[in-house]
Amino acid sequence: KIEFGTDYSPDVSYHFNSKVSEFHYGVRHPMKPFRLMLTDHLVSGYGLHNYMDLYETRAASREELLEFHSKDYIDFLSKVTPDTVSKLPRGSLEKFNIGDDCPIFQGFYDYSVLYAGASLDASRKLLNGQSEIAINWSGGLHHAKKSSPSGFCYVNDIVLSIINLLRFHPRVLYIDIDIHHGDGVQEAFYTTDRVFTVSFHKYNGEFFPGTGNFDELGCSEGKHFALNVPLEDGIDDDSYINLFKGVMDPLITSYKPTVIIQQCGADSLGHDRLGCFNLNIKAHGECVKFIKSFGIPMLVVGGGGYTPRNVSRLWTYETGILSGMILPESLPEDSPFREWFGPDYSLYPTLGDLYENKNSKKFLENVRIRCLERIRYLQG
């Protein structure tokens, strides 16, 4: 049975519209919205729904999308369909970066406004004080730009939510532990000191999206308010946790955010179909637990994650952490998708054994020191 943990149980809300999990990017496409259905079934199978406020969310409106995205782009997205895409004038697919990563699949606009609507709903509950922590696992699509989709992301629910939070919050901290660089969010707030963006990711100049080197630190008013933590393949639990805590503790203490948004991309786990790190579920969750321990209002979103059985285990475990509940290791027995979780049927399968750790102690220590030097700038 599920038990109360010893740490504080805040007011937590869970924002979801199950329709979002019914869309398909295409048979060979790695992004599977179905992972959200698996997650929702595990969360409710464990009984976690009883310890959170549940909201069935509405789609984001056109006006809400225009707070960040260009009118041209939203007009295009809302009009194009799989049937009309082939009849568009030459150049328009290139203009809007439509292609294999971001296909025009059946209902892709409805899908986009649904995941964005859930993040906006979560941000509203934080703003009106009804929630201390608000969760939307269908969000976290951090690559979308003002006028183009990118990396499986059509609209940027994170940027939209941050813009909403900025109405009342003087300083917003964005933390991104997806294996990919959070480029869309970084770019949107690159010139402001009211949003600090930090992303941990694989970086070699080639790995998608190709950005996120340490030297990207923001510009004009925003100089020193973006931090990038570039990593090599195969990073393990202890190295990641040490680096994450060693950087985030002084960053939060110095920047003093009034609200935090954490993107919990699950492609930083080991055995991910696209990723190449060695993180186990408990280590990823430890990063979430650590940020929760500061007691600052938090918006928590999903993101990448391409091995659905592990994505759903991770986000269920993290829902437990955020709501202050301890989950038994053995997965709920009466869940409709139980066969997805064999042969172990455990919340914590071994995921840290696939890659050689290419991050030497010396390299990681150097990354940590350089981050601390950057953070010192905030202390004046």
Nearer to Zn ion, 180 or 271 (CB): 180
| Integer Cα distance of 280 and 114 in angstroms | 30
Which residue among 15, 180, 181, 271 is the active-site one? 181
- Cβ pair 2, 319 in contact under 8 A: no
Region 258-317 residues binding ligand ZLV, contact defined as CB under 6 A: 265, 267, 274, 303-304
Could you say which DSSP state residue 89 is in? P
111: tokens are: 């899908």
Nearer to ligand ZLV, 311 or 371 (CB): 311
Stretch that binds Zn ion, among 85-93, 175-183, 237-245, 289-297 (CB under 5 A): 175-183
Name which position in 40, 64, 101, 272 contacts ligand ZLV (CB under 6 A): 101
216 binds Ca ion (CB under 5 A): no
Name which position in 141, 144, 195, 322 contacts ligand ZLV (CB under 6 A): 141
In the chain, alpha helices (H): 34-45, 62-65, 71-79, 92-95, 108-127, 157-165, 183-188, 237-255, 281-292, 308-323, 361-376
Q: What are the angstrom distances between the C-alpha of 26 and each of 30, 271, 280?
A: 8, 22, 28
Region 182-211 residues binding Ca ion, contact defined as CB under 5 A: 199, 201
142 is catalytic: no
| The residue to which tokens 């639990």 are assigned | 237
Stretch that binds Zn ion, among 89-97, 214-222, 249-257, 267-275 (CB under 5 A): 267-275
| Integer Cα distance of 335 and 14 in angstroms | 19
Stretch that binds Zn ion, among 115-123, 164-172, 266-274, 276-284 (CB under 5 A): 266-274
Nearest CA among 98, 184, 195, 198 for reference residue 142: 184
Nearer to Ca ion, 331 or 351 (CB): 351
Stretch that binds ligand ZLV, among 8-16, 27-35, 72-80, 187-195 (CB under 6 A): 27-35
Number of H helices, E strands in the chain: 11, 10
143 binds Ca ion (CB under 5 A): no
Nearest CA among 3, 15, 272, 244 for reference residue 122: 15
Nearer to ligand ZLV, 101 or 132 (CB): 101
Name which position in 15, 32, 169, 180 contacts ligand ZLV (CB under 6 A): 180
30 binds ligand ZLV (CB under 6 A): yes
Pairing of strands 3-4, 195-202: unpaired
Please list the active-site residues: 181
Q: Give the interface with Ca ion as residue ranges (CB under 5 A).
A: 176, 178, 199, 201
